[in-house]
Amino acid sequence: MKKTIIITGGAGFIGSHVVRLFVNKYPEYQIVNLDALTYAGNLENLTDVAKSPNYTFVKADITDYETISAIFAQYKPDGVIHLAAESHVDRSITDPFAFIRTNVMGTCNLLHAAKELWKEQMEGKRFYHVSTDEVYGALENDGTFFVETTKYDPHSPYSASKASSDHFVRAYHDTYGLPVVISNCSNNYGSHHFPEKLIPLAINNIKHKRPIPIYGKGENIRDWLFVEDHARAIDVIFHSGKNGDTYNIGGNNEWTNNDLIHLLCSIMDRKLGRTDGESAKLITYVTDRAGHDLRYAIDSSKLQRELGWKPSLQFEEGLEKTVDWYLANEAWVDRITSGEYQQYYEQQYSNR
Ligand code: NAD
Ligand code: TYD
């Protein structure tokens, strides 16, 4: 069936994988990538689909309601998959207001524009908010998991802004009958990941023999999911998720930061022809992140049971693929690590 879908944040890490999947898999859909191209947005992520007849890019800022409403009036989307966000916890500690503007106000602008466009006919429409497991707070290292009914308990300005936007999505469903769906996903890794996040940062630093900063004691635990598995989950939930429902997405793949970095170092030693143990010497323990959540772990059995999704890759295999991509795409990393990101990087780490 012909449909127009606006994907926000399509020039970013996860968004570019979602855009690529939808453009290639659904030639009958018109995919509109709406992105402000902040420091994290890079159209180079999408050169392979840029000329596809069912793909359009629109540069716009979701914090500007007039612009968003005009874009909705022009394209008349049947669906919105909303990923645009400020996404880095460390940046949220330095500048929480940017997160309130984009993640809270921006999401409300999109919800309102969708409600205004669809108010006569909500049937067949869908507003999908791509959210994070960080809204649930932190787990102890006790074998428990986040489920869809876990109480929200965000700790960082990032997770508080995502929790707030989730609440607004549900409020628009309950108050105005907006057809919505939400997913809360664990940490992603894979290609096109901005090198301020742990895995791409470490790959880049290992390559250049620079220190690998591990916060605190490195005992924090994350549940890592290959980004293309996340994109597949988004496809399934967008098409088959129940109106008003929430789905947790995770890799069932918990690693302490210490174990993860040691695994990455040994993969990199092998790929770069270094002796085993050489890269691990770059590990440098630095001041812990303020309010650093100890552990995230997702129970995704609802999504697996009800919609038949499951992760496709073992972590070691996914990590190898990711390292290969970064080593083959040095120019991508070099362009990103110049400019604004460079200034931010220096400012962040000069005092550590
Ligand atoms: P990212 O930082 O790589 O990309 C964000 C994109 O949003 C960029 O293209 C940027 O230009 C765009 N954007 C930012 N502010 C905007 C604005 N005001 N108007 C329009 N566009 C704007 O982020 P990501 O890691 O790809 O995350 C995408 C979404 O998935 C986010 O909503 C995030 O909360 C969620 N999420 C991320 C992870 C993860 O591990 N990265 C896990 C779970 C959920
Ligand atoms: P990150 O990639 O920023 O994702 P999130 O904070 O959303 O989980 O960080 C993943 C883990 O790695 C987290 O426990 C913080 C830690 N970390 C470091 O130890 N060093 C770093 O340089 C970065 C960026 C993160």
Q: Is 205 inside a domain boundary?
A: no
What pLDDT, on the 0 to 100 scale, is given for residue 316? 96
Given a contact cutoff of 8 angstroms between Cβ atoms, the answer to whether 213 and 247 are in contact is: no
Q: Is 284 inside a domain boundary?
A: no
Residue nearest to atom 33 of ligand 1 (CA): 87
Q: Residue 108: which residues within 8 A CB-CB, separation 6 or more?
A: 165, 168
Closest atom of ligand 2 relative to the 156 alpha carbon:
6
CA distances 158 to 14, 79, 96, 100, Å, are 17, 25, 7, 8
| Three state DSSP letters for 32-47 | EEEECCCCCCCHHHHC
Between CA 66 and CA 62 the distance in angstroms is 9
Closest atom of ligand 1 relative to the 87 alpha carbon:
2
- Domain housing 136: 4-190+224-254+292-314+341-349
CA of 279 to the centre of ligand 1 (A): 30
Look at residues 75, 109, 63 and name the one whose alpha carbon lies nearest to residue 2.
75
What pLDDT, on the 0 to 100 scale, is given for residue 211? 98
Query: Mean pLDDT over residues 123-144, rounded?
Result: 98
Query: Mean pLDDT over residues 172-190, rounded?
Result: 98
Buried b (16+ CB within 10 A) or exposed e, 192-218: bbbbbbbbbbbbbbbbeeeebbbbeeb
Q: Is 167 inside a domain boundary?
A: yes
Query: Mean pLDDT over residues 71-88, rounded?
Result: 98
CA of 26 to the centre of ligand 2 (A): 34
Given a contact cutoff of 8 angstroms between Cβ atoms, the answer to whether 190 and 228 are in contact is: yes
- Which of 43, 68, 87, 260 to mutate to test ligand 1, by most ligand atoms within 8 A of the CB atom? 87
Q: Is 119 inside a domain boundary?
A: yes
High-pLDDT (> 90) share of the chain, %:
94
Q: Is 15 inside a domain boundary?
A: yes
Q: Is 327 inside a domain boundary?
A: no
CA of 90 to the centre of ligand 2 (A): 8
- Which of 257, 261, 282, 284 to mutate to test ligand 2, by most ligand atoms within 8 A of the CB atom? 257
Q: Is the pLDDT of residue 341 over 50?
A: no
Between CA 115 and CA 242 the distance in angstroms is 19
What pLDDT, on the 0 to 100 scale, is given for residue 145? 98
Look at residues 322, 35, 349 and name the one whose alpha carbon lies nearest to residue 210.
349
**Tokens standing for 342?**
């460079």
DSSP 236-286: HHHHHPPTT-EEEE--S-EEEHHHHHHHHHHHHHHHHTPPTTTGGGGEEEE
Closest atom of ligand 2 relative to the 216 alpha carbon:
19
What pTM did the predictor assign?
0.96
CA of 294 to the centre of ligand 1 (A): 23
Q: How confident is the model at residue 338 (pLDDT cuts 50, 70, 90)?
A: confident
Q: Any idea which residues carry the catalytic annotation?
A: 133-134, 158
Q: Is the pLDDT of residue 340 over 50?
A: no
CA of 269 to the centre of ligand 1 (A): 31
Q: What residue has token string 């250049």?
A: 208
Beta carbon of 44 within 6 Å of any ligand 1 atom: no
Q: Is the pLDDT of residue 344 over 50?
A: no
Q: Is the pLDDT of residue 345 over 90?
A: no
Mean pLDDT taken over the chain: 95
Number of domains present in the structure of the chain: 1
Question: pLDDT tens digits, residue range 289-315?
Answer: 999 999 999 999 999 999 999 999 999
Find the CATH number of the domain harbouring 234. Answer: 3.40.50.720
Between CA 266 and CA 272 the distance in angstroms is 10
Between CA 86 and CA 132 the distance in angstroms is 12
Q: Hey, CA dihedral for 210, 224, 22, 15, is it positive or negative?
A: negative
Q: Is 93 inside a domain boundary?
A: yes
Question: pLDDT tens digits, residue range 205-238?
Answer: 999 999 999 999 999 999 999 999 999 999 999 9
Q: How confident is the model at residue 347 (pLDDT cuts 50, 70, 90)?
A: low
Q: How confident is the model at residue 352 (pLDDT cuts 50, 70, 90)?
A: very low
What pLDDT, on the 0 to 100 scale, is given for residue 339? 53
- Of all ligands present, the nearest one to the C-alpha of 131 is 1
- Which of 88, 135, 215, 217 to mutate to test ligand 2, by most ligand atoms within 8 A of the CB atom? 215
DSSP 166-180: HHHHHHHHHHH---E
Residues near ligand 2 (Cβ within 6 A): 89, 187, 197-198, 201, 213-215, 220, 222, 257, 289
Q: Is 286 inside a domain boundary?
A: no
